[in-house]
Chains A and B, each alone.
Chain A
Amino acid sequence: MRRSVASVLGACVVAAACSGCGNDPYPDADVRAKVLYSPFLAAHRTLDPAEAYNVSAHQVTGLVYDTLLEYHYLARPYRLIPGLATSVPKAQPLGDGRVRYRFEIRRGIGYGPDPCFEAGGEGRTTRDAHAEDFAYQLMRLADPALKVQVRDPFSRIEGFTAFAQALAAARGADPGFAARPSREQYAAVGGIRGVRVDGDDVMEVTLSEPYPQILYWFAMEFTTPVPWEAVDRYDGKEGRERFADHPVGTGPYRVTVYDKRSRISLVRNPNWYGITQPEAPGAHYPTEGEPGDAAAGLLDPAYVGRPVPFIDRIEMRLDKESIPVFNKFLQGYYDSAGIIKESFDQVIQNDRLSPEMAARGIGLRKAVSPGLFYLGFNMEDEVVGAAGGERARKLRQAMSLAVDSQRWIDIFLNGRGIPAQSPIPPVISGAPEGYRNPYRQVDLARARRLLAEAGYPDGIDPQTGSPLRLSFDTYEVGSGGALDREFFIGEWRKLGIDVDLQVTTYNEFQAKVERLAYQVFFWGWSADYPDPENFLFLLTCDMRRSGVGGPNTSNFCDPDYDRLFSAMETMESGPERDAIIRKMVAIVERERPWIEIYNGVGYSLVHGWLHNVKPFGMSYPMAKYLDIDAESRAEMREAWNRPVVWPVWVLVGVFAVGIVPGIRTFFRERQ
Chain B
Amino acid sequence: MEAYVFSNLLVAALVVGGVVLARVVRRDRLWSEAMGELWRRRRGSILVVAAFVSIGLLDSVAWKGGSVVGDDLLASHEARTVVDRIFQGAKESSYSAPLASESFYGGEALADPGGHWLGTDLLGRDVLHRALKGVRVALLIGGLTSAIAIPLALLMGVGAGYFGGRFDDFVFFVMSTLASIPSLLLLIALIMALGRGTWQVCLALGITGWVGLCRVTRGETMKLRELDYVQASLALGVSHARIIVRHILPNLMHLVVITLVLLFSQLVLSEAILAYLGIGVSGSWGEMINQARNELSREPIIWWNISAAAAAMFTLLLAVNYVGDALRDVLDPRTLRETT
Q: Is A150 among interface residues, defined by CB-CB distance under 8 A?
A: no
**Chain B residues touching A, majority SS:** loop
Q: Give chain A residues whose Cβ lies under 8 Å from the Cβ of B196.
A: 503
Chain A 300-327 interface 0/1 with B at a Cβ cutoff of 8 Å (1 = within): 0000000000000000000000110011
Given A479-B293, A494-B71, also A342-B123 (CB < 8 A): no
Q: Is A175 among interface residues, defined by CB-CB distance under 8 A?
A: no
Q: Give chain B residues whose Cβ lies under 8 Å from the Cβ of A493.
A: 71-75
- Closest chain-B Cβ to A654's Cβ sits at a distance in Å of 22
13 contacts between A and B (CB under 8 A): A323-B294, A323-B297, A340-B294, A346-B298, A411-B122, A459-B73, A483-B123, A483-B291, A493-B71, A493-B73, A494-B73, A495-B73, A496-B74
CB of B93 within 8 A of CB of A327, answer no
CB of A342 within 8 A of CB of B297, answer yes
CA distance A497 to B78 in the complex (A): 12
16 other A-B residue contacts (CB within 8 Å) besides A479-B293, A493-B74: A322-B294, A323-B294, A340-B297, A342-B294, A343-B299, A407-B93, A467-B77, A477-B278, A480-B291, A480-B293, A481-B287, A481-B291, A483-B291, A490-B123, A496-B77, A498-B77
Q: Give chain B residues whose Cβ lies under 8 Å from the Cβ of A411.
A: 93-94, 122-123
Q: Which of B270-296 contact A (CB under 8 A)?
A: 278, 287, 290-291, 293-295
Q: Give chain A residues whose Cβ lies under 8 Å from the Cβ of B299.
A: 342-343, 345-346
Chain B 65-101 interface 0/1 with A at a Cβ cutoff of 8 Å (1 = within): 0000001111101000000000000010110000000
CA distance A467 to B105 in the complex (A): 34
Q: Is B107 among interface residues, defined by CB-CB distance under 8 A?
A: no
Q: Give chain B residues whose Cβ lies under 8 Å from the Cβ of A216.
A: none
Given A345-B105, A459-B74, A490-B123, also A327-B293 (CB < 8 A): no
CA distance A483 to B74 in the complex (A): 19
Q: Give chain A residues whose Cβ lies under 8 Å from the Cβ of B122.
A: 411-412, 480, 483
Chain A, residue nearest B94 (CB)? A411
Chain A 429-458 interface 0/1 with B at a Cβ cutoff of 8 Å (1 = within): 000000000000000100000000000001
Question: How many A residues touch B, CB cutoff 8 Å?
Answer: 33
- Closest chain-B Cβ to A24's Cβ sits at a distance in Å of 21
CA distance A323 to B71 in the complex (A): 35
Chain B, residue nearest A407 (CB)? B93
- Closest chain-A Cβ to B103's Cβ sits at a distance in Å of 10
Chain B, residue nearest A492 (CB)? B74
Q: Which of A460-519 contact B (CB under 8 A)?
A: 466-467, 477, 479-481, 483, 486-487, 490, 493-498, 503
Q: Give chain A residues whose Cβ lies under 8 Å from the Cβ of B182.
A: none
Q: Which of A322-369 contact B (CB under 8 A)?
A: 322-323, 326-327, 340, 342-343, 345-346
Selected contact of B295 from candidates A326, A342, A444, A494, CB within 8 Å: A342
Q: Is B300 among interface residues, defined by CB-CB distance under 8 A?
A: yes
Chain A, residue nearest B293 (CB)? A479
Chain A, residue nearest B75 (CB)? A493
Chain B, residue nearest A496 (CB)? B73
CA distance A346 to B302 in the complex (A): 13
Q: Give chain A residues whose Cβ lies under 8 Å from the Cβ of B72.
A: 493-494
Enumerate chain A interface residues (CB-CB to B < 8 A): 322-323, 326-327, 340, 342-343, 345-346, 407, 410-412, 444, 458-459, 466-467, 477, 479-481, 483, 486-487, 490, 493-498, 503
CB of B291 within 8 A of CB of A490, answer no
Q: Give chain B residues whose Cβ lies under 8 Å from the Cβ of A496.
A: 73-74, 77
Given A411-B93, A483-B123, also A345-B73 (CB < 8 A): no
CB of A498 within 8 A of CB of B74, answer yes
Q: Give chain A residues whose Cβ lies under 8 Å from the Cβ of B94.
A: 410-411
CA distance A104 to B291 in the complex (A): 55
CA distance A327 to B299 in the complex (A): 12
- Closest chain-B Cβ to A183's Cβ sits at a distance in Å of 42
CA distance A94 to B181 in the complex (A): 68
CB of A490 within 8 A of CB of B297, answer no
Q: Give chain A residues whose Cβ lies under 8 Å from the Cβ of B278.
A: 477, 503
CB of B298 within 8 A of CB of A343, answer yes
- Closest chain-A Cβ to B95's Cβ sits at a distance in Å of 9
CA distance A340 to B77 in the complex (A): 38
CA distance A487 to B291 in the complex (A): 14
CB of B300 within 8 A of CB of A345, answer yes
Q: Give chain B residues whose Cβ lies under 8 Å from the Cβ of A466.
A: 77
Given A343-B299, A345-B105, A411-B122, also A481-B290 (CB < 8 A): yes
CB of A480 within 8 A of CB of B294, answer yes
- Closest chain-B Cβ to A287's Cβ sits at a distance in Å of 41
Q: Give chain A residues whose Cβ lies under 8 Å from the Cβ of B77.
A: 466-467, 496, 498
Chain A, residue nearest B276 (CB)? A479
Chain A, residue nearest B196 (CB)? A503
Chain B, residue nearest A321 (CB)? B294
Most buried by B among A407, A412, A493: A493
Q: Give chain B residues whose Cβ lies under 8 Å from the Cβ of A480.
A: 122, 290-291, 293-294
CA distance A345 to B74 in the complex (A): 35
CA distance A503 to B93 in the complex (A): 24
- Closest chain-A Cβ to B234's Cβ sits at a distance in Å of 53
CA distance A477 to B290 in the complex (A): 12
Q: Which of B292-319 contact A (CB under 8 A)?
A: 293-295, 297-300
Chain B, residue nearest A412 (CB)? B122
CA distance A407 to B106 in the complex (A): 12
CA distance A497 to B123 in the complex (A): 18
Q: Give chain A residues whose Cβ lies under 8 Å from the Cβ of B105.
A: 345, 410
Q: Give chain B residues whose Cβ lies under 8 Å from the Cβ of A495.
A: 73
CA distance A327 to B296 in the complex (A): 12
Chain B, residue nearest A503 (CB)? B196
Q: Give chain A residues whose Cβ lies under 8 Å from the Cβ of B297.
A: 323, 326-327, 340, 342-343
Q: Give chain B residues whose Cβ lies under 8 Å from the Cβ of A412.
A: 122
Nearest 8 CB-CB pairings of A with B = A346-B299, A496-B73, A342-B298, A493-B74, A481-B291, A494-B71, A342-B297, A323-B297
Chain A, residue nearest B72 (CB)? A493
Q: Give chain A residues whose Cβ lies under 8 Å from the Cβ of B91.
A: 490
CB of A345 within 8 A of CB of B298, answer yes
- Closest chain-B Cβ to A412's Cβ sits at a distance in Å of 8
Q: Give chain B residues whose Cβ lies under 8 Å from the Cβ of A323.
A: 294, 297
Q: Give chain B residues whose Cβ lies under 8 Å from the Cβ of A497.
A: 74
CA distance A498 to B79 in the complex (A): 13
Selected contact of A486 from candidates B74, B93, B123, B298, CB within 8 Å: B123
- Closest chain-B Cβ to A414's Cβ sits at a distance in Å of 8
Chain B 101-132 interface 0/1 with A at a Cβ cutoff of 8 Å (1 = within): 00001100000000000000011000000000
- Closest chain-B Cβ to A479's Cβ sits at a distance in Å of 7
CA distance A498 to B298 in the complex (A): 33
Most buried by B among A467, A490, A497: A490
- Closest chain-B Cβ to A44's Cβ sits at a distance in Å of 22
Q: Give chain B residues whose Cβ lies under 8 Å from the Cβ of A410.
A: 94, 105-106
Selected contact of B294 from candidates A345, A467, A479, CB within 8 Å: A479
- Closest chain-A Cβ to B260's Cβ sits at a distance in Å of 31
Chain B, residue nearest A354 (CB)? B299
CA distance A343 to B299 in the complex (A): 6
- Closest chain-A Cβ to B84's Cβ sits at a distance in Å of 14
- Closest chain-B Cβ to A283's Cβ sits at a distance in Å of 42
Chain B, residue nearest A467 (CB)? B77
CA distance A411 to B72 in the complex (A): 20
CB of A487 within 8 A of CB of B293, answer no
Q: Give chain B residues whose Cβ lies under 8 Å from the Cβ of A345.
A: 105, 298-300
- Closest chain-B Cβ to A664's Cβ sits at a distance in Å of 29
Most buried by B among A323, A477, A481, A493: A481
CB of A487 within 8 A of CB of B123, answer yes
